[in-house]
Structure 1
Amino acid sequence: MSFTWSPEEPAPPFKITAGGWFRVVLRGLTLVAILLTGVVAMMLLRLVERPLHGMHRPWTPFITQVVCRLAFFVLGMRHEAVGERMTARGAVVANHSSWLDIFSLNARKRVYFVSKAEVAGWPGIGFLAKITGTVFIARDPREAKAQQEVFEDRLLAGHKLLFFPEGTSTDGFRVLPFKSTLFQAFFNEALRHEMHIQPVTVIYTAPEGEDPRFYGWWGDMDFGSHALKLLAARRNGSVKVVYHVPVKVEDFATRKALAAHVEQVVRGGMPEARRLSR
């Protein structure tokens, strides 16, 4: 069952001024040019990379990283990374505040997102997700075995899969309880003794004078309006990505114990005022 989080207090309206629309056009066109250049470069490089390396992607993820870093430069938004990025085999889990998390988490680490199957059909976003190697999962028990095999193949190939165990995005001021379902894949005998999980905390700071939840994307917010707000902002804020110490899957007896531990670590990485759980 899917779940969409919404706060009791809605986000305040954001009015775009004449100067804001100028920034929307300037930043928007620049970002589109960067994304298109990245897509073309990745498609061309995959023509060589796929025959030589198959499922392995030793080159194209660097294009994704460059594109994401440039996106923050264009937005005028500071991106800070703290902690060591995991090199061992395994997956990454993080709190989920916004569609911007995709850029925040791709900018400094080579990861492949795990996403619901519906995203594959979204205009534009679905194509970008596919070309960057996103793993799509369906909420259908009949496909559980096939999805387990996909997880195994990708993880054993050295891919760092990244997923959001909260199952929904929030306002960035809380970490919801982690759902343990996807953690079960790591307890398969083919993976359990090989895999590590790295908890990551993503912290957004709003532009001065704006609602503290400026970057949060929740409930029935549409992507277009939220993206326009970020493009129109006279001065954007910042994002801090905190990489915590990875843990071994085999050190935990059950998926629920593992999920509970990494949830606690991710929440602990938040400023004290943001350690809410609902």
Structure 2
Amino acid sequence: MTWTSDRPAEEAPISLLGWLRVAVRGLCLAALVFGGLFVLLALRLAERPLFGLRRPWTPYITQFVCRGAFYILGIKHETEGAQMTTAGAIVANHSSWLDIFALNARKRVYFVSKSEVASWPGIGWLARATGTVFIRRDPRDAKIQQDIFEARLLVGHKLLFFPEGTSTDGLRLLPFKPTLFQAFFADPLRERLAVQPVTVVYEAPKGEEDRFYGWWGDMAFGPHLLKTLSAPRGGEVRIKYHRPLAVADFQDRKALAKAAEVAVRDGLPKEKLTAGKAYDKALGPLS
């Protein structure tokens, strides 16, 4: 499923000064990302045989790169609430490719992503290097995926899911799909794990539309990256950590998914949800 809007995001032409910002920021970002990737892969050569699935060193490289990316882009990054320290998983709303940087910048997490991402140029390479778990949306793979989740969670990895199943414009929250929550109810995990809901909130740069950082539907990555790099001023992203939900406190995956959805929705500012409803009313139904 892919969420899309009847009205595309506003795309203003990039000025000469904007292209200069693209060049400077783009070169700095590329040096940071690919330089960090080189260091990460070099460390992983020693980390893998010594620690196997455990990654005691390389996640710090990922965090450094992600924090630096927001500095280069001029986007303010803030967090609220306490991060979960016990074993478990993270679930969050999904608005943009920037979510990957935003959620990695403050917490050591490993993303769960659709298998197609592994073949994407650039993003796919980074995802594989940072330990992303790739899954196919095929019921026949459910047992294999559950085994993978169990192995990663039992060694202390905090897996991060986007239960909406798609990204949006950041002005709404789609119902959480309960399918992936089933893995938390396996016998080795249910009594040990908690799930922490996290809300990601973007504020657009001054003078830009609310959906500036949103990346959805069939929007291409390249133009969205150029728009972000060329912006004369950056916006802000806030990560809100909510109270962890003990898996053992819930009867089944649907109840847990609903509780997590409610927590994430409560973290979205009312004005964001109101703006989303205004778009829906003014532009017609969104699919």
TM-score by length of 1: 0.97
Note the alpha carbon deviations across 1:201-227, whole angstroms, 9 max, x for none. 000000000011100001110000000
Alignment partner of 2:163: what SS? Answer: coil
> Displacement of 1:14 after TM fit?
2.1
Distance 1:199 1:140 in 2: 25
> Displacement of 1:123 after TM fit?
1.2
Note the alpha carbon deviations across 1:166-211, whole angstroms, 9 max, x for none. 0000000111100000001111111111110000000000000001
Partner of 2:65: 67
Opposite residue 68 of structure 2, the aligned amino acid is: L
Distance 1:247 1:178 in 2: 15
Partner of 1:123: 121
> Displacement of 1:8 after TM fit?
3.1
Structure 2 unpaired stretches of 5+: 278-285
Partner of 2:234: 236
Work out which of the residue numbers 148, 160, 165 in structure 2 matches 1:150: 148
Partner of 2:260: 262
> Displacement of 1:143 after TM fit?
1.6
Opposite residue 148 of structure 1, the aligned amino acid is: Q
Opposite residue 235 of structure 2, the aligned amino acid is: G
> Displacement of 1:49 after TM fit?
1.1
How many residues of Structure 1 are paired with residues of Structure 2 in the alignment?
Answer: 276
Note the alpha carbon deviations across 1:134-158, whole angstroms, 9 max, x for none. 0000112222111111000000010
Work out which of the residue numbers 46, 49, 59 in structure 1 matches 2:47: 49
Alignment partner of 2:143: what SS? Answer: helix
> Displacement of 1:37 after TM fit?
1.1
Distance 2:129 2:32 in 1: 15
Partner of 2:85: 87
> Displacement of 1:75 after TM fit?
0.5
1:1-278 equivalence runs, <5 A: 3-275=1-273
Distance 1:274 1:250 in 2: 33
Opposite residue 20 of structure 2, the aligned amino acid is: F
Partner of 2:281: none
Note the alpha carbon deviations across 1:110-162, whole angstroms, 9 max, x for none. 00000001111111111110000000001122221111110000000100000
Distance 2:214 2:137 in 1: 25
Worse-matched range after superposition: 137-146 or 264-273: 137-146
Partner of 2:283: none
> Displacement of 1:50 after TM fit?
1.2
Distance 1:189 1:139 in 2: 23
Opposite residue 19 of structure 2, the aligned amino acid is: W
The CA RMSD over aligned residues, in Å, is 1.1
Opposite residue 142 of structure 1, the aligned amino acid is: R
Structure 1 residue ranges (4+ consecutive) displaced by more than 2 angstroms after TM superposition:
7-10, 273-278
Distance 1:9 1:39 in 2: 37
Distance 1:14 1:201 in 2: 29
Alignment partner of 1:198: what SS? Answer: strand
> Displacement of 1:44 after TM fit?
1.0
> Displacement of 1:273 after TM fit?
2.4
Structure 1 unpaired stretches of 5+: none
Distance 2:191 2:236 in 1: 37
Alignment partner of 2:196: what SS? Answer: strand
Q: Percent identity?
A: 62
Opposite residue 226 of structure 1, the aligned amino acid is: H
Opposite residue 106 of structure 1, the aligned amino acid is: N
Distance 2:199 2:131 in 1: 23
Distance 1:148 1:229 in 2: 38
Opposite residue 118 of structure 2, the aligned amino acid is: A
Worse-matched range after superposition: 224-233 or 118-127: 118-127
